[in-house]
Chains A and B, each alone.
Chain A
């Protein structure tokens, strides 16, 4: 591996230069106005309530900022992203317009890491990259610009410490999500490094059942064969465990899963042995937590419905929909095009990748609508959705 590969993690100092571009593409005077008016807006029969925390988080804001600064800093160079910088189609399309090419994922140019040449510039996205990808890139002699979210890296530290100490990381996340794949790869750097990814409380409950001897190896692998580290032996690898999470999961669920696993380990091995067999640190992302808390607060206002704006593949946006649905009908739209008419709306179904059209989404008469957005959604997109709602109402 080349020791000379440069990894840039700090600003190029071009923030002022790129500010007009960012403002033109992502900012919204309307959203600023609604925020200034106690997060409320009234128009005709509609009252719109905006969540007090929504949209771009610090990690996303920084990743986009660095991508634009990178383009400004290296105007003549080929610039690549390893994958989507964040899960928002508007942002990824804008980066393509800047001439930034994607090596993989839905915007992939069909290229591969072995096509990267010395002098090229490669952006690592907010989700991070796997260790093997990082190693491969470092061998190419390119300039690496690392936009990995700091909260994600804080999780990596935990997973690596578990691996060093011989604890298996139980990761609450989605196995095929870029962030979780990168986090899993961190465990595998160490001889004792193991991981198991659990999607939700139901899966965590099955892991607890295995720990306590109520599930066979066959039953365990029938469910987890694709979400464990290579050579995983549940008898050996569930004797010492540590909890971690994908930063965009439901924070309350991550905590519940940690508590479930702790209780299970205590029942299996006894309270005195717990300290040597169970680890847990709070790695909940504060921005994710704040957005989830804010949407919960918003639902208590007695809404007729909630509109959640964000990329269909955005994990944190999906969780905002889940929280909203506890209280009222909620629709996850990617952008203004989802608001088809006052009668019909196109949206993503919760707990499913399916995009559907629903009739009768907008009630007659006075309507109270909550609006929130995932951490990767530009204010400009939220503004367009609000504008479209007011147009069709």
Chain B
């Protein structure tokens, strides 16, 4: 089984319903997530 590591805090994420969720900070990902960028950055593609 694949192991997912939280992009935000580095903890192991666990699968819960259709998501993988970090048990430490609550960050989650699902099948619509494509990138590997941390969300709390000012996007380089942005204005």
Which chain B positions have C-beta within 8 A of A59?
A: 25-26
CB-CB under 8 A for A286 and B42, given A57-B26, A150-B8: no
A157 within 8 A of B: yes
Of the four ranges (under 10, 10 to 19, 20 to 34, 35 or more), the interface on chain B belongs to 20 to 34
CB-CB under 8 A for A160 and B43, given A58-B26, A62-B25: yes
User: Least Cβ distance of B45 to chain A in Å?
Assistant: 7
Per-residue CB proximity of A67-80 to B under 8 Å, as 1/0? 00000000000000
CB-CB under 8 A for A149 and B40, given A9-B8, A189-B46, A286-B16: no
User: Least Cβ distance of B25 to chain A in Å?
Assistant: 4
Asked whether A58 lies within 8 Å of B43 as measured between CB atoms, the reply is no
A134 within 8 A of B: yes
Instruction: Tell me which of B28, B38, B42, B43 contacts A154 (CB under 8 A).
Output: B28
Which chain B positions have C-beta within 8 A of A135?
A: 42
Asked whether B30 lies within 8 Å of A134 as measured between CB atoms, the reply is no
CB closest chain-A residue, reference B27: A150
User: Least Cβ distance of A202 to chain B in Å?
Assistant: 29
Which chain B positions have C-beta within 8 A of A189?
A: 42-43, 46-47
User: Least Cβ distance of B11 to chain A in Å?
Assistant: 9
Instruction: Tell me which of B8, B26, B38 contacts A285 (CB under 8 A).
Output: B26
A365 within 8 A of B: no
In Å, the complex CA distance between A9 and B5 comes to 14
Asked whether B42 lies within 8 Å of A153 as measured between CB atoms, the reply is no
A379 within 8 A of B: no
Instruction: Tell me which of A58, A124, A131, A281 contacts B25 (CB under 8 A).
Output: A58
In Å, the complex CA distance between A149 and B47 comes to 25
Asked whether A10 lies within 8 Å of B10 as measured between CB atoms, the reply is yes
B23 within 8 A of A: yes
Which chain B positions have C-beta within 8 A of A161?
A: 32
B33 within 8 A of A: yes
User: Least Cβ distance of A38 to chain B in Å?
Assistant: 25
Asked whether A286 lies within 8 Å of B26 as measured between CB atoms, the reply is yes
CB closest chain-A residue, reference B19: A282
B12 within 8 A of A: no
A146 within 8 A of B: yes
In Å, the complex CA distance between A10 and B27 comes to 13
Which chain B positions have C-beta within 8 A of A226?
A: none
Among B16, B38, B39, B43, chain A packs the most CB atoms within 10 A around the CB of B39
A337 within 8 A of B: no
In Å, the complex CA distance between A124 and B38 comes to 15
B window 1-47: CB within 8 A of A: 6, 8-10, 16, 21-30, 32-33, 38-40, 42-43, 45-47
30 contacts between A and B (CB under 8 A): A1-B42, A7-B40, A9-B8, A9-B10, A9-B40, A10-B10, A59-B25, A128-B40, A131-B42, A135-B42, A138-B42, A146-B40, A148-B8, A149-B26, A150-B9, A150-B24, A150-B25, A153-B8, A153-B27, A154-B26, A154-B27, A154-B28, A156-B40, A157-B39, A161-B32, A188-B47, A190-B47, A191-B47, A281-B32, A287-B26
The 9 lowest CB-CB distance pairs between A and B, nearest first, are: A150-B27, A189-B46, A150-B25, A150-B26, A151-B26, A153-B39, A156-B39, A150-B8, A59-B26
Interface residues of B (CB under 8 A from A): 6, 8-10, 16, 21-30, 32-33, 38-40, 42-43, 45-47
Interface residues of A (CB under 8 A from B): 1, 7, 9-11, 57-59, 62, 124, 128, 131, 134-135, 138, 146, 148-151, 153-154, 156-157, 160-161, 164, 188-191, 193, 281, 285-287
Besides the known contacts A58-B24, A138-B42, 15 further A-B residue pairs in the complex with CB atoms under 8 A apart: A7-B40, A9-B8, A9-B10, A11-B9, A59-B26, A150-B8, A150-B25, A150-B26, A151-B26, A153-B40, A154-B28, A157-B39, A160-B43, A285-B26, A286-B26
